Amino acid sequence: MKKAGEAPPGVRIGDEALKAKTGKNWSEWFAMLDRAGAAKMNHTAIADHLYTKLGCPGWWSEMVAVGYEQARGLREKYQRSEGYSISKSKVLAAPLGRLFGAWQDARTRARWLKEPITIRKATRNKSLRITWADGKTSLEVLFYPKGPGKSQVVVQHSKLADARAAERMKQYWGGKLEGLKGILER
């Protein structure tokens, strides 16, 4: 059970920030959801109840629903409706175009990522949609400028089989992004 002022496991928003944005803290939202029988609802019904019946603002309804599901054992860490998903990001001392190229160009990519991928869609210096080497899971790779000579990459790996696979891929991408940093920051 969480202590006062703490977010549920896997959720990063604390009580104070949640109350500032929604008017209630975790304990207050959870008590209201328990009274409404949310433990027997699916995610969509919980989020809808938060928004339409309890007045929780838009996006925050989704976030509170996920926190509730995790706290009540209805959802595991990394679990989403379409499977399990992780995200890993890295800021690098490299211009945006160079970072994007390190992903899009097969020869450059082979220096830090050995697994074969299929790029389904590319928006230059913004995003890539990728089918992972297993042919089953997907990557969304997002690119952001972070000032002169700096940029950020965010890897979202989705449709993973379970929490263990998600944790493995989170560690995997942490290592790969470090390798990419080593190549681009030489």
Domain ranges of the chain: 15-71, 80-184
Alpha helices for the chain (secondary structure H): 15-22, 26-35, 43-48, 58-71, 96-104, 106-110, 163-184
**Which residues, in sequence order, are CB contacts of 102 under 8 Å at separation 6+?**
94, 108, 109, 112, 180, 183, 184
* Average pLDDT of the residues in 52-79: 87
CB neighbours of residue 80 within 10 Å: 14
Residue 66 has pLDDT above 90, yes or no: no
Work out the pLDDT band at 1, boundaries 50, 70, 90: very low
Res 5: pLDDT: 46
> Would you say 119 and 128 are in contact if contact means Cβ atoms under 8 Å apart?
yes
**88: nearest Cα among 132, 146, 153, 180:** 153
Res 9: pLDDT: 55
Question: pLDDT tens digits, residue range 42-56?
Answer: 889 999 999 999 999
Sign, CA torsion 51/57/59/64 = negative
Q: Can you give the pTM of this predicted structure?
A: 0.67
Question: pLDDT tens digits, residue range 5-32?
Answer: 455 555 667 889 999 999 999 999 999 9
Query: What integer best gives the mean pLDDT of the chain?
Result: 90
CATH of domain 80-184: 3.30.530.20
Per-residue b or e along 104-131, where b marks 16 or more CB atoms closer than 10 Å to that residue's CB? eeeebbeebbeeebeeeeeeebebbebe
